[in-house]
């Protein structure tokens, strides 16, 4: 997703050079005499190696402290997000607090079960042994968060990282300045400072931070910067989760409830002033459906935000001047059918619908990340699916139709990080569903148990007794066909319709 931080403003070739600078021999966590974060990373690693974060009691205590942070700092969170993004209290409480508490409660309710060793099937030769999967913490984790949901998008992965027993450094976005300050000043007082830290800053700080060896990196941001993060991680062979973004298509069939479609699409597109990585980025429909949708979308926008959305307390603002200018330029694509008004002083862009949009127009070349909804006309569902599949795989695909067959066709014949039929955004509110991208929209999963699994190394373990050595004799030299036959009979995994006679 587009984030617009100073780090992201650096040209990619320069960022790569920055990530490659200061090379040479250094300790596992960087040279403490040259890297300002090496000491912090080393301190957290020492805490992790001590085993402090492993007991369930410790993990639960830290997770409950996050709940206290959300409860006690609720008003400050609402004020900070209003200052940074013009977020309505309703939207901020829903997206930044309520959904985080759902994740937190899901984790606390299930953590003891998730942590248990998972015993697995054994062959006949190993019936006396213990084979299981142990969920080990990775170690020291780095979470780099964006500005558009500045609490949720660091806190949800942090919940998973703590639940899995890791030490964590959180890097909030400096673009959402008030929220960054709140997180930096308040969060450390709730968590164990020996195991958790907040680092602030822009390109220089992030670049130096990434020089250190982490055991896992979780990044939310744009695809170009995701590649830079992955390059930095590769130097230490550090695994990553990349939550990126892209252009999420929304197909609307000719058979649907137009009013309901318009309300659900308008809500998903204009929530947080369109600055949502899973927002429907463009509509695909026939010309006949477009003529029906336009008045329905106009009515939905009026119902939600009134005749002048600029005066609505429920409609947000673009985060900064750079992002405002970028989104404003996209208004030149196609023709404005609804909205189009702007106010640079307020960083206000009205909820806007564009028609006569061509696939080659600028608005179709990048993730919009603002309150603009282009409509691309297609002839039928097959053409819509071909259009979707001709582009990079998105973070989400949406399909609206009164026919389950149509919705299922779109689901089965496309590929995306997630899918939602006959609604927008709502699939990410379920802690039971994984959230993540595919291809250009990201890699890796989180939410609920998927967060715990992401930050856990699934360690295959086998424990055998010291006795019964005669059972091992067939595997030892000198070899012969008879010995192999014994091994085959006692260790073979057979197809269910296969019969092995012992």
Residue 19 CA to residue 400 CA, distance in Å, equals 44
List Cβ neighbours of 252 (8 Å cut-off, separation of 6 or more). Answer: 261, 265, 283, 284, 285, 289, 293, 400, 401
How many CB atoms neighbour CB 105 within 10 A? 13
Residue 313, helix vs strand vs coil = coil
Residue 451 CA to residue 104 CA, distance in Å, equals 11
Per the listing, tokens 């927002």 go with 279
pTM of the predicted protein model? 0.91
Name the DSSP letter for residue 435: B
With beta carbons less than 8 A apart as the criterion, state whether 233 and 217 touch. yes
With beta carbons less than 8 A apart as the criterion, state whether 243 and 442 touch. yes
Q: Which two tokens stand for residue 442?
A: 């990201």
Residue 145, helix vs strand vs coil = coil
DSSP calls for 183-234:
HHHHGGGTS-TTTEEE---SHHHHHHHHTS--SEEEEES-HHHHHHHHHHHH
With beta carbons less than 8 A apart as the criterion, state whether 54 and 137 touch. yes
> pLDDT tens string for the chain (502 positions)?
433 333 322 333 434 333 333 333 334 455 555 899 999 999 999 999 999 999 999 999 999 999 999 999 999 999 999 999 999 999 999 999 999 999 999 999 999 999 999 999 999 999 999 999 999 999 999 999 999 999 999 999 999 999 999 999 999 999 999 999 999 999 999 999 999 999 999 988 999 999 999 999 999 999 999 999 999 999 999 999 999 999 999 999 999 999 999 999 999 999 999 999 999 999 999 999 999 999 999 999 999 999 999 999 999 999 999 999 999 999 999 999 999 999 999 999 999 999 999 999 999 999 999 999 999 999 999 999 999 999 999 999 999 999 999 999 999 999 999 999 999 999 999 999 999 999 999 999 999 999 999 999 999 999 999 999 999 999 999 999 999 999 999 999 988 875 555 4
Which sequence positions are flagged as catalytic? 243, 277
* Bridge partners, 168 (sequence order): 141, 196
Phi and psi dihedrals of 326, rounded to 5?
A: -65, -50
With beta carbons less than 8 A apart as the criterion, state whether 329 and 349 touch. no
List Cβ neighbours of 237 (8 Å cut-off, separation of 6 or more). Answer: none
Residue 130, helix vs strand vs coil = strand
């Amino acid at each position: 997703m587009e984030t617009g931080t100073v780090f992201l403003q650096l040209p990619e070739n320069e960022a790569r050079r920055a990530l490659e600078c200061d090379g040479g021999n250094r300790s596992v966590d960087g040279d403490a005499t040259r890297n300002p974060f090496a000491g912090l990373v080393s301190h957290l690693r020492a805490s992790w190696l001590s085993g402090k974060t492993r007991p369930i009691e410790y993990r639960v205590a830290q997770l409950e402290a996050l709940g206290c942070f959300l409860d006690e700092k609720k008003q400050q969170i609402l004020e900070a997000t209003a200052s940074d993004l013009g977020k309505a209290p309703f939207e901020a409480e829903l997206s930044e607090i309520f959904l985080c508490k759902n994740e937190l409660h899901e984790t606390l309710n299930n953590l003891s079960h998730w942590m248990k060793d998972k015993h697995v099937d054994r062959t006949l030769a190993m019936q006396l042994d213990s084979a299981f999967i142990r969920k080990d913490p990775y170690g020291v984790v780095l979470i780099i968060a964006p500005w558009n949901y500045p609490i949720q998008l660091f806190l949800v992965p942090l919940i998973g990282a703590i639940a899995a027993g890791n030490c964590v450094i959180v890097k909030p976005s400096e673009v959402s300045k008030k929220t960054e300050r709140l997180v930096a000043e308040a969060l450390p007082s709730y968590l164990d400072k020996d195991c958790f830290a907040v680092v602030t800053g822009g390109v220089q700080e992030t670049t130096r931070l990434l020089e250190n060896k982490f055991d896992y990196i979780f990044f939310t941001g744009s695809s170009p910067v995701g590649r830079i993060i992955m390059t930095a991680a590769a130097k230490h062979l550090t695994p990553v989760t990349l939550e990126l973004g892209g252009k999420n298509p929304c197909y609307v069939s000719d058979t649907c409830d137009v009013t309901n479609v318009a309300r659900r699409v308008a809500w998903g597109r204009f929530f947080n002033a369109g600055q949502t990585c899973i927002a429907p980025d463009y509509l695909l429909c026939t010309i006949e459906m477009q003529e029906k949708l336009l008045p329905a979308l106009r009515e939905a926008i009026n119902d939600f935000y009134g005749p002048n959305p600029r005066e609505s307390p429920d409609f947000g603002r673009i985060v900064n001047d750079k992002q405002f200018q970028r989104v404003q330029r996209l208004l030149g694509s196609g023709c404005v059918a609804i909205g189009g008004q702007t106010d640079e002083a307020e960083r206000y862009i009205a909820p806007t619908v564009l028609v006569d949009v061509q696939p080659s127009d600028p608005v179709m070349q990048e993730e919009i990340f603002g309150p603009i909804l282009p409509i691309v006309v297609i002839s039928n569902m097959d053409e819509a699916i071909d259009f979707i599949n001709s582009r990079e795989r998105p973070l989400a695909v949406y399909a609206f139709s009164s026919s389950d067959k149509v919705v299922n066709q779109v689901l089965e014949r496309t590929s995306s990080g997630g899918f939602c039929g006959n609604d927008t955004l709502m699939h990410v509110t379920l802690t039971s569903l994984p959230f993540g991208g595919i291809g250009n929209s990201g890699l890796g999963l989180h939410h609920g148990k998927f967060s715990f699994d992401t930050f856990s190394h699934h360690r295959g373990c086998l424990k055998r007794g010291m006795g019964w050595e005669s059972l091992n004799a067939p595997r030892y030299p000198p070899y012969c066909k008879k010995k192999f036959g014994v091994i085959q009979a006692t260790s073979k995994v057979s197809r269910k319709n296969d019969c092995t006679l012992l």
